[in-house]
Structure 1
Amino acid sequence: QTFILDDIPFSFSEGPENGESNVTVIRFFQDWVDRNATRVFAARSQFNLGIDAFDATVNNEAPDGRFLSWLGQFQWVQRLSSRNLFLLRLNTQLTSDSLLSIERFSVGGVDTVRGYRQNQLVADNGITASAEVRIPLTANTNTLQITPFFDIGTAWNNGGTNPDPQTIASLGLGLISQPSNAWNLRLDYGIPLMSVDDSGNTLQDNGFYFSLQYQPF
């Protein structure tokens, strides 16, 4: 729920009622994996059905909580040599409905198109693709890797205006370090290839991303 001034509910986008939107969604997904000694293919197909139940947002005109969308995810990992890996990721969402913001597809950020802020583009439909090569810099392949990458994404709506620009892309370089099985560090720097009007001045807006993961078990 969103508010403005003295805690007054306010809708910044189409669909929410008094700044609040609810969805009740049935999600049905299928996974597929095919692997051998040198490569892995993995895919997921997910259908999302928004229904009028449990106080879901329902409006006389779209968007509301009644919709059908499909989310597809694909990943290919290929061993180029005994030390180098190639990774390709593809994500897409397709729908014929106008969606509430909570169910829209976002483009931009560390998981989609690096070099832009998180959720730079948000729309009903979208496609993102990312390709990178992981090249070890040390004898132990997990100690330090350099990862040149290319990211691209596009998004569009079924009703109303489309994001401007509709497509963003970037080139960049990353460093990955896994000093032990429990720790994983990653630093990425993306160079945007398309300009956007609302870029800020944070590290993320300037294309830098840093993550530190710890898994004790």
Structure 2
Amino acid sequence: MLNNLESEATGHTPGSFWKPVGTRLRLASASARRLMLLRQVGLDPEVRPTNVDESRHADEHAVDYVRRMALEKARAGVTGEVDLVLGADTAVVLEDEIMGKPRDQADAMSMLARLSGREHRVLTGVALCSPDRPGGRAVVVESRVRFKRLSDAEILAYVKSGEPFDKAGAYAIQGLGAAWVARVSGSYSGVVGLPLFETLELLRDFGLTFSAPE
């Protein structure tokens, strides 16, 4: 990473090295975290969330669910106004159970108590569609996260912070929830909500090119 002196010497600031060219990209998500990650690597998509039924099919495996959700969100966003539409979906999975966003304080506390001292999976599906390839393509990236053992007081304090309530699994690794994460195996950005390496590989497959600024 460039420090301030290196930034002044090169004339470039951290995060501005790669600039995408020639493609209009739409993010089919209202997630501020996903937008932040895309901007981190030099992308600045149009943001237009899509509305799809997020019900899980009977006996649908978690991997299949997040892949389907990502594809449906991307497909729903395809119009002639853009070249590419990116959809994504993230699920926290403990054993075989998908842990969604908590309904209330009691539900958030129950989720965190179950995650305490254990390892869980975070699955993020990423999909791209275009007018020329409306069926799209999707990948699913799995990461494993281990929590420290939490006391009842720690759980209560975290829940009262308000952070868990719009987060799958009732925590945010990029926020206060980082204090509980003992180890991450896999893609950190995938746990945040968008695995950047795999996302950029998909974008290249759909024809996105990059050029360094002059």
Q: Please report the TM-score for the alignment, with normalisation by the length of structure 1.
A: 0.31
Greater strand share, structure number: 1
- Identify the structure with bigger relative contact order (alpha carbons < 8 Å, sequence gap 6+): 2
The answer to which structure has the higher helix fraction is 2
Q: TM-score, normalized by length of structure 2?
A: 0.31
